[in-house]
Amino acid sequence: MNLSSSAKFPRTRLQRGHLVFIFFALASCLLIIGPPTARTASVISQTTTAQNPASTGRASGALRIRAWPKLDGETRKLDRKRFFLIKGSLAENQPLIEKMNQTRPLTRDCYYRGIGASEPLIKWLTKGDCESVYCREVSMEDLSGNEAVPEFQLAYARGQKEFGSRDVALKWLTVNLREEIRNGFYRQQQQTLRALVQEAEAVSKAKVQSVMTDRKGSAYFTDLEPGPYVVSNLLPTELGKVGILWNCEVEIKSREASIAMIRAFQLTNDPNAPKKCFVERELPSCAAPGK
Amino acid sequence: MLRRIITITLLAPLALAMFVYPRLSSTARVFQARQQRRATARPAPSGKNAPDYSKFSHRSRSHQQACASCHKTPTANWRVARSFPDIADYPGHESCVGCHRQQFFNGARPTICTICHTGASPRDQLRFAFGQPKAARQANKLLDLRQFIIEFPHDKHQDVIARLAPSQKSMRGELAFVPASFNLKGSMTDEKGPQFNNCAVCHETNRRQPDAPKGGWPGAFVPVPETFKTAPTSHASCFNCHWKSQPPTADDCAGCHKLAAAAFVPQSWPTRLSARFIHEGGGPNKDHIAECTTCHINITKASTLRGLMPDVPIGSCAACHNNDKQGNTYKQITTIEMELDQSEKTHSCHYCHTPDVGRKEAPRSHCLAVGWPLTKCKNTQ
């Protein structure tokens, strides 16, 4: 009995010693690390920034697209057109793609003729492939002569009265145009696009990116997680007498934007392309009255 | 027992030192930060907790009424101050005196007058420049303190304004963009053709010598004015479309102006990695005439200015500055490969970079852009 007691004692003493040591060691460690001071917080934030793919361009994937369809046998670099990138494969986004195929948006000509716009205005818009009157400056030549636009003439007259200055009336001409003339077509398109984007985001549970092509028909999607995506224009792009709707599946690998710039994913309307991913339809005819 | 005493004796002072030091140092930092905040945010009031009436803050709760309750659109002086209808002056006295009668009639030189007026005297009518200080002929405040940040969606504007412009080729039915950087009377454009809107509507070539940053220019390299593009500092490029009808309209200040968390002095020029790149450069023929979005690849998707980065990947430069001279129009061009080669000897890339950046190892992206082995680009960042 005694033996066992005496044998127990040193063991207990050793355990206490260990406990004291562990306690102080832990306390010391905690105190060294301490509460996050301003300095540690700043280091953390710097680390976060450095690890952000957007800031380094390292961890994320990128995709360059090139919209080069053919019109009358000649390749056209489709400039200033918006494209969207939807997360997921074609199969995963099938209901959305079906909806896009069924959507028949009004063409520019049909819209403007529908609201009773003058023929010179429609001609002015068509000349620059403009979806609204904001695309180019209205000049004095558009206010007089054979190609004078009656809507512009009226707005100019109103502006002169309002601002007391010909110069301001001309430069600010659009402020005195009716909304549907000003940008009704663009707004209508945006409404349809917004609805489709919302649906795409609800299905894919990811934000839909959108970019616009440059004069060479190129654009870049950046900061992409690896995986399958669908490149789409959501609404048919008017090209001559046809509208082209693209829905093409691409696989994004983690790579830098600089590599993406070397190889581009090409959007064509070539029926012999290995992976046909477009629908081409004739646009409805909304000819000018008397034509 | 002896072991326990020794352990405690050794560890206790150590723990105490470790406990006290970080707290003391962090307390000192917090105290310093507080002192700095006090010094910058609130200058010494005349009495205890007395407001400083020499400064006006839109953040004050009583100053957060509808903008139109004080600011008139346009102000009566617009014909004198501007070439277009604008908010070109401070609100009238009636906007202030309703609440601040006491401060208005406080001695011969009321402090409150110095918010707008250059002198604090009822006879001094001169005011500091309003809204467009750099272009105005009036006196400017010493510090260009801003209380609002601007909300501007590049994506929407890109949709409606960035259009095709007829070039010389347009005679043959082709179209091309007007690069924002160059003269419309240049060789690529048809002088008699219609003028299309594009990035240049807001971003023109800078003609003003840039102010040196705090601490001076890196490597004492002073950039020429044409290095940069300007950003709008007035309503001139907004009101021509947004005066009325097209929201946000001129009387809806909050449509674009968002109250900042604290007053700030805006950065004059963007911080560049390639400080030596000149927008108006590209040799004697000024060949840096690519369309803006060809290099600034993320602009067309930017719905806000917050966190907006110029985002020019090295691949944009590599499109011309590469060793593939056979297919390159610019035979005399300095290439990325040439720079990487010489940097192995000099440990510096100075064609595009100032020493603060150029003395670092080349990042992998530079090698990838020109198809060089990654061993030549050791910087993994």
| Cα–Cα distance measured from residue B87 to residue B105, given in angstroms and rounded to the nearest whole number | 27
User: pTM of this prediction?
Assistant: 0.76
Contact A219, A212 (CB under 8 A): yes
Tokens, residue B142: 């010493």
Asked if the Cβ–Cβ distance from A137 to B195 is below 8 Å, we say yes
Average pLDDT (B145-150) is 92
Q: Who's near A76: CB < 8 A, 6+ residues apart?
A: A68, A69, A70, A217, A239
Most distant pair of Cα atoms in chain B: their distance: 102
| Cα–Cα distance measured from residue A235 to residue A233, given in angstroms and rounded to the nearest whole number | 5
Nearest-Cα residue of chain A relative to residue B250: A175
Over the stretch B319-335, which tens digit does the pLDDT of each residue have? 888 887 566 667 778 99
Residue B46: per-residue pLDDT: 52
Q: Amino acid letter at A179?
A: E
Q: What ipTM is given for this predicted complex?
A: 0.74
Per the listing, tokens 């940053």 go with B213
Q: Report residue B308 CA to chain centroid gap.
A: 10
Asked if the Cβ–Cβ distance from B177 to A32 is below 8 Å, we say no
Nearest-Cα residue of chain A relative to residue B197: A136
Q: Amino acid letter at A169?
A: A
Contact A222, B297 (CB under 8 A): yes
Taken in order A199, A203, A207, A212, is the CA torsion positive or negative?
negative
Burial (CB < 10 A; 0-12, 13-18, 19+), residue B184, is: middle
Taken in order A274, A278, A282, A287, is the CA torsion positive or negative?
negative
Which chain A positions have a beta carbon within 8 Å of B22's beta carbon? 31-32, 34-35, 37
Tokens, residue B188: 């690529």
CB-CB: which of A16, A132, A139 is closest to B160? Answer: A132
Residue B330: per-residue pLDDT: 75
Helix, strand, or coil here: B91? coil
Which segments of chain A have a pLDDT < 70?
1-60, 255-262, 288-291
- The torsion defined by the Cα of A131, A133, A134 and A139, in degrees rounded to 10, comes to 140
Write down the mean pLDDT value for chain B.
Answer: 79
Over the stretch B1-59, which tens digit does the pLDDT of each residue have? 566 776 666 666 655 555 545 444 444 444 444 444 444 434 444 555 678 898 899 99
Residue A16: per-residue pLDDT: 62
CB-CB: which of A32, A139, A210 is closest to B194? Answer: A139
Asked if the Cβ–Cβ distance from B194 to A167 is below 8 Å, we say no
Peptide bond before B248: cis, by omega within 30 degrees of 0?
A: yes
E strand map for B222-351: 257-264
Asked if the Cβ–Cβ distance from A38 to B197 is below 8 Å, we say no
| Cα–Cα distance measured from residue B256 to residue B264, given in angstroms and rounded to the nearest whole number | 17
CB-CB: which of A31, A57, A134 is closest to B160? Answer: A134
Residue A116: per-residue pLDDT: 95
Strands A278-282 and A242-252 come out as antiparallel
Contact of A59 with chain B, judged by CB distance below 8 Å, is answered with: no
Report whether pLDDT(B163) > 60.
no
Over the stretch B332-377, which tens digit does the pLDDT of each residue have? 789 999 999 999 899 999 999 999 999 999 998 898 888 888 888 8
Residue B124: per-residue pLDDT: 79
**Buried b or exposed e, range A10-33, using 16+ CB within 10 angstroms:** eeeeeeebeeebeebeebbeebee
CB-CB: which of B160, B369, B371 is closest to A183? Answer: B160
Contact A100, B136 (CB under 8 A): no
Burial (CB < 10 A; 0-12, 13-18, 19+), residue B40, is: exposed
Per the listing, tokens 């339809």 go with A281
Residue B269: per-residue pLDDT: 83
Contact of A99 with chain B, judged by CB distance below 8 Å, is answered with: no
Residue B18: per-residue pLDDT: 54
Which chain A positions have a beta carbon within 8 Å of B159's beta carbon? 82, 131, 186, 212
Contact B299, B154 (CB under 8 A): yes
Over the stretch B291-321, which tens digit does the pLDDT of each residue have? 888 889 889 989 998 888 778 888 888 888 8
Residue A21: per-residue pLDDT: 62
Asked if the Cβ–Cβ distance from A218 to B294 is below 8 Å, we say yes
Percent of chain A with pLDDT over 90: 59
Residue B29: per-residue pLDDT: 47
CB-CB: which of A129, A218, A261 is closest to B313? Answer: A261
